Amino acid sequence: MSDLRARYGPWAMVAGASSGLGAEFARQLAARGLNVLLVARRAELLETLAAGLRAQHRVEVRVASIDLGAPDLLERARAATDGIEIGLLVYNAALSLIGPFLEQPLADKLRVIDVNCRGPLILADEFGRRMVARGRGGILLMSSLAGSRGAPLVATYAATKAFNLVLAEGLWDELGARGVDVLACRAGATRTEAYVDSAPEGKLPVMECAPVVTQALAALGRRPSMVPGWLNRLGDFFLSRLLTRRASIRVMGRATRAMYPRFGERADGIK
């Protein structure tokens, strides 16, 4: 048990909980005595995770198979939380589109906005209100180091991660004054299903999910945003403080093209 339960109990909601970082958030929160509501699309994975958490940590676990990008998200979220108090919202889910912007259908890009921006906005609005009314709570939004500047080949995804960072920072101040802790976690490359499925090449340092989640939960209530891992913090310092913005976009572009050579070089051949 921990002060996390006292600060954010009795229930945490993890949006995007069926695998990777989301499943790890659920495990660590349950281990610290919080009941968890697991949300994602793949109900079977959620049920398996829920059974394990109930058996291992003796907490209550609910599952809700919801598409976080669906138009009826608010109604579905309200139904799933009927009769329970969500003291902590973790919005982990994201859709990551990799490839040249103009080769991706507009509908796919709009779907990225729905899952990565509209979803967290709706849930922060709904549960932020309830938390403020109780005078306590926490909201953790997953951002990314990719959200700190323009990022070629992941332009839309990176822009949505900037949205989460800036939204969380604003709410950190606004809701923080009303008892609700808000944090953006600016993760670097992390070994999740989505990351592995993207088939990156080369030898980029990759973090495991557990330390990312441990460090994010430790930072909640202490600062507006955090970067897990010292190597990521070093990279962030280099890109954000030592380089011009223009140079840092170019470095990101070179790194992303090296990770995903299947998309080819810059159109003008400039390295």
Active site residue 161: yes
By beta-carbon proximity to ligand NAP, the closer residue of 180 and 207 is 207
Catalytic residue among 91, 109, 161, 260: 161
The string over 92-107, giving b where at least 16 C-beta atoms fall within 10 Å of a residue's C-beta and e elsewhere, is: bbbbbbbeeeeeeeee
DSSP three-state, residue 106: helix
Residues binding ligand NAP (CB under 6 A): 16-22, 40-42, 45, 67-69, 92-96, 115, 142, 144, 161, 187, 189-190, 192-195
Own/partner pairs for 158-163, CB < 8 Å, 24+ apart?
160/94, 160/112, 160/113, 160/116, 160/117, 161/94, 161/116, 161/186, 163/116, 163/117
Active site residue 157: yes
What one-character DSSP code corresponds to residue 226?
E
We find the least distance from the C-beta atom of residue 6 to ligand NAP, in angstroms, to be 27
Catalytic residue among 157, 195, 203, 271: 157
We find the least distance from the C-beta atom of residue 145 to ligand NAP, in angstroms, to be 6
We find the least distance from the C-beta atom of residue 24 to ligand NAP, in angstroms, to be 8
By beta-carbon proximity to ligand NAP, the closer residue of 5 and 30 is 30
By beta-carbon proximity to ligand NAP, the closer residue of 69 and 128 is 69
By beta-carbon proximity to ligand NAP, the closer residue of 94 and 180 is 94
∠ CA 211-216-250, rounded to 5°:
85
Q: Are 65 and 93 in contact (CB under 8 A)?
A: no
| Residues acting as catalytic residues | 157, 161
